[in-house]
Amino acid sequence: MTIKELPQSERPYEKLELYGEKSLSNAELLAIIIKTGTKEYTSVDIARKILKLNEMYDETSLSFLRDLSIEEITKIKGMGRVKAIQLKAICELANRMNKPSNYKKTQIKEPNDIVKILMNEMQYEKREIAKIVLLDNKNNILKIKDIAIGGNNFVNIGMKDILSEAVKINAPKIILVHNHPSGSSRPSLQDIDVTRKLEISANMLGIKLIDHIVIGKGEYTSIKTIEKWKTKLEGK
Q: Are residues 217 and 146 in the same domain?
A: yes
3-state SS string for the chain = CCHHHCCHHHCHHHHHHHHCHHHCCHHHHHHHHHCCCCCCCCHHHHHHHHHCCCCCCCCCCCHHHHHCCHHHHHCCCCCCHHHHHHHHHHHHHHHHHCCCCCCCCCECCCHHHHHHHHHHHHCCCCCCEEEEEEECCCCEEEEEEEEEECCCCCCCCCHHHHHHHHHHCCCCEEEEEEECCCCCCCCCHHHHHHHHHHHHHHHHCCCEEEEEEEECCCCEEEHHHHHHHHHHHCCC
pLDDT higher than threshold 60 for residue 59: no
Q: Which of 44, 74, 97 marks a domain boundary?
A: 97
- Mean pLDDT value across residues 112-136: 91
**53: pLDDT confidence band, cut at 50, 70 and 90?**
confident
Q: Are residues 120 and 85 in the same domain?
A: no
| Predicted local confidence at residue 55, as pLDDT | 66
The answer to whether residues 189 and 126 touch, using CB atoms and an 8 Å cutoff, is no
Cβ-in-10-Å burial (0-12, 13-18, 19+) of 118 comes to: buried
Quick check: is 104 in a domain?
Answer: no
- Mean pLDDT value across residues 176-192: 93
**49: pLDDT confidence band, cut at 50, 70 and 90?**
very high
- Mean pLDDT value across residues 159-170: 93
Q: Which of 97, 125, 159 marks a domain boundary?
A: 97
- Mean pLDDT value across residues 13-18: 89
pLDDT higher than threshold 80 for residue 4: no
| Predicted local confidence at residue 144, as pLDDT | 93
Q: How many domains does the chain have?
A: 2
| Predicted local confidence at residue 236, as pLDDT | 47
Q: Are residues 144 and 229 in the same domain?
A: yes
The more confident residue out of 57 and 190 is 190
Quick check: is 210 in a domain?
Answer: yes
pLDDT digits (tens, 9 = 90+) for 195-232: 999 999 999 999 999 999 999 999 999 998 886 655 54
Evaluate if pTM is beyond 0.75: no
State which residues form the domain around 129: 111-233
Quick check: is 102 in a domain?
Answer: no
pLDDT higher than threshold 70 for residue 24: yes
**233: pLDDT confidence band, cut at 50, 70 and 90?**
very low
Q: Are residues 119 and 220 in the same domain?
A: yes
Q: Are residues 17 and 78 in the same domain?
A: yes
